[in-house]
């Protein structure tokens, strides 16, 4: 069976539970036979359905520190970072079925036992399933920029989302965002600077250089080819 979680269900807006706003859009693309086979074989072992049921990250990753990655595309960067840091568990969330299948394939091929893949809405995972102070880090790499003005309320990094996220992070945990869309980078920086639960890792403020531990992603290469400037933002969860 393919993942049976909430799938592309709407995120709940900061305004309340009765105003659903989607912070992602469903991407429809053909799933290959290899991706489908990986999902059928490996989902029972490494898949997590976002269904609102409480989740125990410590049990899921056998006591490893846990990093939440929201949106992983086809999973190449996730797999590379998992291979470079096998002592850290990566809970990778996305709704893109081909990407889920591809990341499962990469994990099996490379012998990566520190990846779990969650299918569905990260808001539900954070709000209903994860306990407080369970995350050692959060990664949001190249999220949908929603460039049209009327859609910008759908951007993931918003004050309400940070307020939901912060209690699930341990004090000192790292929130790492990256984007090649300059207006979204400016928005992220403004929102993070203004939020009382996060502190810029750079004493002088502003963007951070790309850290060596973040590989250059496929989206990054595409953005650079278009002349975009890639921005990294690294903020700690305050105590």
Give catalytic residues, as residue numbers.
144
CA 233/CA 209 separation, integer angstroms: 8
- Report the 3 state secondary structure along 110-159: CCCCCEEEEECCHHHHHHHHCCCCCEEEEEEECCCCCCCHHHHHHCCCCH
Q: How many CB atoms lie within 10 A of CB 65?
A: 17
CA 96/CA 29 separation, integer angstroms: 9
CA 192/CA 198 separation, integer angstroms: 6
Chain centroid, CA 36 distance in Å? 22
- Name every residue whose Cβ is closer than 8 Å to that of residue 164 and which is 6 or more positions away in sequence: 123, 126, 127
Q: Which of 164, 161, 193, 175 is nearest to 237 (CA)?
A: 175
Both structure tokens of 60: 């899921």
CA 96/CA 118 separation, integer angstroms: 11
DSSP state of 210: P
């Amino acid at each position: 069976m393919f993942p049976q979680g909430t799938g592309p269900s709407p995120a709940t807006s900061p305004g309340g539970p009765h105003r659903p706003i989607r912070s992602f859009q469903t991407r429809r693309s053909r799933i290959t036979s290899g991706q489908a086979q990986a999902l059928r074989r490996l989902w029972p072992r490494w898949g997590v359905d976002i269904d609102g049921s409480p989740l125990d990250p410590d049990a899921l990753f056998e006591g490893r520190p846990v990093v939440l990655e929201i949106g992983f595309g086809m999973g190449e960067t996730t797999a590379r970072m998992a291979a470079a840091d096998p002592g850290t568990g990566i809970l990778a969330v996305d709704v893109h079925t081909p990407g889920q299948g591809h990341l499962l394939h990469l994990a099996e091929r490379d012998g990566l036992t520190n990846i779990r893949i969650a299918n569905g809405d990260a808001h539900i995972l954070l709000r209903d399933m994860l306990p407080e102070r369970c995350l050692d880090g959060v990664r949001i790499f190249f999220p949908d920029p929603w460039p049209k003005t009327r859609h910008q309320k759908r951007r993931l990094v918003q004050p309400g989302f940070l307020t939901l996220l912060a209690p699930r992070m341990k004090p000192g945990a790292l929130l790492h965002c990256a984007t090649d869309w300059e207006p979204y980078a400016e928005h992220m920086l403004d929102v993070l600077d203004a939020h009382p639960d996060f502190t810029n890792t750079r004493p002088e403020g502003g963007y951070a250089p790309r850290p060596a531990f973040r590989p250059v992603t496929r989206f990054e290469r595409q953005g650079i080819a278009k002349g975009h400037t890639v921005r990294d933002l690294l903020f700690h969860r305050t105590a």
